[in-house]
Amino acid sequence: MRILVVEDEPDLSAALSASLRREGYAVDVADDGQSALDRLAVNSYDLVTLDLNLPDIDGREICRLVRTDDRFDPATRILMLTARDDIDDRVAGLDDGADDYLVKPFALRELSARVRTLLRRETSGADAVLTVGSLQLDTARQLVSWGDDVIELTTKEFALLRYFMSHPGEVLSQERLLEHVWDEMVDPFTNTARVTVGTLRRKLAAVTGSQLIETVIGSGYRLIDDPDLVGTHDAADRGYSGDRGG
């Protein structure tokens, strides 16, 4: 999942970014309103943490623009962060289109929990665990398991699997994976996505004995939406190309 942190206080911005990256999110940063709007116009973000007190454009105005201007993705979740703790300010922010509101100062653990809750809305999940067949991903504990077996993943592999499990059965192009799992520093012309999909696929297969991620030739990749039905010999029948590189 890709997040934009909009915050003009350098220390807080650095702390938020570091905390979210440790949890596997791809994070971009903007330190003023115009920079935030520029990034939102060219990138598709799953969530924005939005400070209201920015030096140029008020955060509420940014929120209204995201919700009404067709240059921006209306599905982007917005978590407002502000020192304004008056109930009228909170109501106004929510009325402007924010999905949630967090008053400064706050604990990073609470921010992380709010972020997880907002991002789970995409899958209509009610708790912190994504489940596809016997495959489970615990977003709070950063744990992946298949039955009783734990699958050890790197931070980026965990983030990639989380995105696949948020869209089971969907064909996801390399471009879409780069857009939502990596930040703006990634080179779109590299084979980063293909290589990471390949390593993730091999780690899953080593524990499950099955190819859970298919290559859909010419289109991208797909996490099989009922992995319990997949055997070690029938992946090709379901469209798996056998591309060991990813």
Q: What is the pLDDT of residue 230?
A: 53
pLDDT tens-digit series, residues 214-233: 999 989 999 987 756 554 43
d(CA 199, CA 208): 14
**CATH number for the domain whose boundaries are 2-122:** 3.40.50.2300
pLDDT tens-digit series, residues 168-192: 899 999 888 888 888 777 776 678 8
Reduced to 3 states (helix: H, G, I; strand: E, B; else coil), residue 244 is: coil
Which part of the chain has CATH 3.40.50.2300? 2-122
- Residues 6 or more apart in contact with residue 241 via CB below 8 angstroms: 214, 215, 216, 217
Domain 129-238, what architecture?
Orthogonal Bundle (1.10)
Q: Within a 13 Å sphere around the CA of 115, how many CA atoms are in the beta-carbon half?
A: 30
Which part of the chain has CATH 1.10.10.10? 129-238
Strand partners, 145: 136, 150
Strand 100-103 to strand 77-82: parallel, antiparallel, or no bridges (unpaired)? parallel
Enumerate long-range contacts of 70-77, CB under 8 Å, 24 or more apart.
Answer: 71/40, 71/41, 72/40, 72/41, 73/40, 73/44, 73/45, 76/40, 76/44, 76/45, 76/46, 76/47, 76/48, 77/46, 77/47, 77/48, 77/118, 77/119, 77/121
d(CA 210, CA 201): 9
Q: What is the pLDDT of residue 127?
A: 57
CB of 78 closer than 8 Å to CB of 66: yes
Segment 113-124 mean pLDDT: 75
What is the Cα gyration radius of the chain?
Answer: 19
Is residue 166 predicted with pLDDT exceeding 90?
no
